[in-house]
Every structure is written in C-alpha cells, then in structure tokens.
Copies of this chain bind each other. A is one copy, B any other.
Amino acid sequence: MQPLSLPPRLLMGPGPINCYPRVLQAMSTQLVGQYDPAMTGYMNETMALYRQVFKTQNQQTFLIDGTSRAGIEAALVSVLEPGDKVLVPVFGRFGHLLTEIAERADAEVHTIEVPWGEVFDPQQIEDAIKRVQPKVLAIVQGDTSTTMLQPLEELGAICRAHDVLFYTDATASIGGNPFETDAWQVDAVTVGLQKCLGGPSGSAPISMSDRFVEAVRKRQHVEAGIRDSHHQDAKGQRIRSNYFDLAMIMDYWGDERLNHHTEAATMLFGSRECAVGLLTEGQDAVLQRHVNAGTAMLKGIQAMGLKPFGDLKHKMTNVVGVYIPDMVDGEQIRHDLLNIFNIEIGTSFGPLKGKIWRIGTMGYNARQDAVLHTLQSLETVLRRAGFSLPAGAGVDAALAVYADAAANGKGSL
C-alpha cells in the first residue's frame, strides 16, 4: 500500500478545480469535539462568513454535509410536500436534476425549457408562474452543462408578487459571478465549494429566508431518541428525509445544538477557509479576476479560430464551451492535454455530447498563468493533430485582455 500520490494536474474543466492551498492546509487541522466551544464557535463563525458570501442577513445560513446536490435535495425535500407544485425552468442538465429531485419528493413538477445555450426572459418565467401557480420556483443560476448564467435579478420580485418561494442553486456560479441573496429576494440558495470557491466537493453551504424557514418549520419533527418533553409533535407532513431535514439541521446549528449528524469537521474547516479566502481577497476583486480570466480565455479561443458555444451575453464568467472543430477527435485532444501537459479540460453530455469542450477558469485557477498555459497547450495539441491555426494568436489575445484590464485599473491576475 503506497502513500497517496496524485499527478500535478491543472484542472481547467467545468469543476472540480484545484483547491486554494490555504483550503488544503486548513483541511489537515486536527479535530475537536462536536460540542466543544471551539467547534461551535467555528460553526457560528462559518455561518457569519457565508452570510457575507451570500450577501444576506439570513440567520439560517450553514452547511449541509454532502456534495452540492445534497444541498439541492435538502432544500427541495424540506419545503416540498407531496402534491405541492413546483416550477422548474430548465436550460441545461442541472435543471433536469432539480426536476428529478422534486419528482422523487412527489411534488407536482412543471417545467418550461429553452434550448441548451440560451436562458429565460423573466417574462417567460412570470407567465409560467401565473399559469402553474406553484409553491416554489426552482432554477439554477449557472448551468455548467451549457455555460449559461440565468439572470435572477427580477425573479425575486416576481415570486413575491405571486406568493411563490424562490429557490436557486448557485453552485457553478457563486464567487465568480454576482449573487445577491437579499437584494434579489432569493428565499433559498444552495452551493458547493468545488467551482469558483476553490474548495473540494463535499460541503454544501445553504441560506434560507424567514419565509422559507417558516415553510420548513411547519413540518418540524424531532427524532424520538432525543425528544424532550418540551418538544411538540410534528405539525405538517413529516419531511421524508432525516438527513436532509432542514428543521432538524437548523436546531443543530442553532442555539439548541440538538444532536443530528456529527458535523463533518474537516469539510467545515475547508468551507470556512474558502469563505475566508474569498472575503480576504475581496469579493469584487475575486469577481474581477474571474471576469479577466474568463474574457482572456474566450478571446484566446476565438483568436485561435475556435468557436464558442451559446449566447455569449449570458455566459458565466468562469466556463466557456468550445465547438470541437470538424476533423478533430475531441477526446484525443483532451487525452493529449492531460497526458502531455497535465491539463484537464471538460467533455460534455446530453445534446452537446461530442460537440463541445468545456474550459473553466475558476477559483484558484482563474489566473493569468493558468489561462496562458492552457491556450498554449491547446494550440500545441491541435497543431500536432493537424488543425491549422495562427501561431501564438491565442496567448496574444489573452495577454491583450489582461493588458487592457490593467490599463483600466482592473488588473486582477
């Protein structure tokens, strides 16, 4: 049995990406007990840090112990009772995921769709809300399957006007694109660490408005093994999952400190460090760094004669889809990048399978040197595969983006 030994990959796909070194370092911290004042102190601090990350005053802001889809399932299964109506606007793979999680909760799921590569106009969503009259609107902000960023700014007001709870998953977008929980009147948001926050998969920060909390609390039920005489019995229909019962998880993170799971302390330390890193560098600076890296990658790709996928007005900063040129074997190019240059870029699935690569510039890897290495290496493997392209055009275009940004005082590298 050999010690763990992994190749030094540069992860330029749609996520997961390389972790910030400070996050990895934090995750080798020795534990304390789960009710140790030092532990509960860091739990409270982590709640406060993620309120800043999410730009919210929501008391109920904490971590779900699982990957990003654990956060999605916790939000949906805790709020949706069987038969409740939910509207899911689908613009990529993760819309389908919301749909199927809601279906398994036996919600009455209504979907609207746009072709992959596009987003919804808020009016389309409002029309569907009027027609369906759902309890919940569930939509992702960024869908890495298509690289699209759905504008959410107007949806909160629409939801309030129609008495709908507004849930979004921002796993793919948070940290690298604007997100405003309170200003946009988002009722619940879930994310993961493994994209622009620069941590590993395995912890899902969540924030919930008072309206959302109220809907969940109606279904509160306390575990038999730890029920005290002062606990009342369940009021609404019991939440179908114990692990994802947000009412119980709130009582674990809250002053009650009522035992639920044993908090995954190492993931908490990593999640905390992701937030500390983001807030120390500054959310605006990190966002600008993602804008610069994403723009440099896009312009570099275009200068190489490659065609980006989808509606570029609504592209996330942190990932770009690139049409695989005719006559080029897309998987062979990915294989060569990985095995010759230790650089990973992404493949695709669903309707885009075999048609586009996805190249990410996220978190720790939203850096000038990472962009340039990727463009150079892609140029080399394409050239050696017989694809004709102008030598050095990609890196020159990317460097020009960084020069422009620096000249405008936006030079985050």
Contact = CB atoms under 8 A, between A and B. Distances in A.
Interface of A: 1, 4, 6-9, 11, 13, 15-19, 24-34, 36, 38-39, 42, 49, 65-70, 73, 77, 93-97, 99-101, 103-106, 145, 192, 194, 200-202, 223-226, 238-244, 259-267, 269-270, 272-273, 276, 279-280, 338, 344, 349-350
Nearest to A66: B66
A265 B70 contact: no
A169 B368 CA distance: 49
B25 A6 contact: no
Nearest to A64: B66
B29 A261 contact: no
Nearest to A73: B243
Contact of A7 (B38, B226, B273): B38
A273 B281 CA distance: 33
Contacts of A6: 29-32, 38-39, 42
A280 B93 CA distance: 43
A15 B73 contact: no
Contacts of A49: 1
A16 B28 contact: no
A170 to B, nearest CB: 15
A29 to B, nearest CB: 6
A1 B267 contact: no
Contact of A15 (B42, B226, B240, B262): B262
Contact of A11 (B33, B238, B259, B279): B33
Contacts of A26: 4
Contacts of A239: 104
Contact of A8 (B16, B30, B104, B344): B30
Contacts of A241: 73, 77, 104, 241, 244
A198 to B, nearest CB: 10
A218 to B, nearest CB: 16
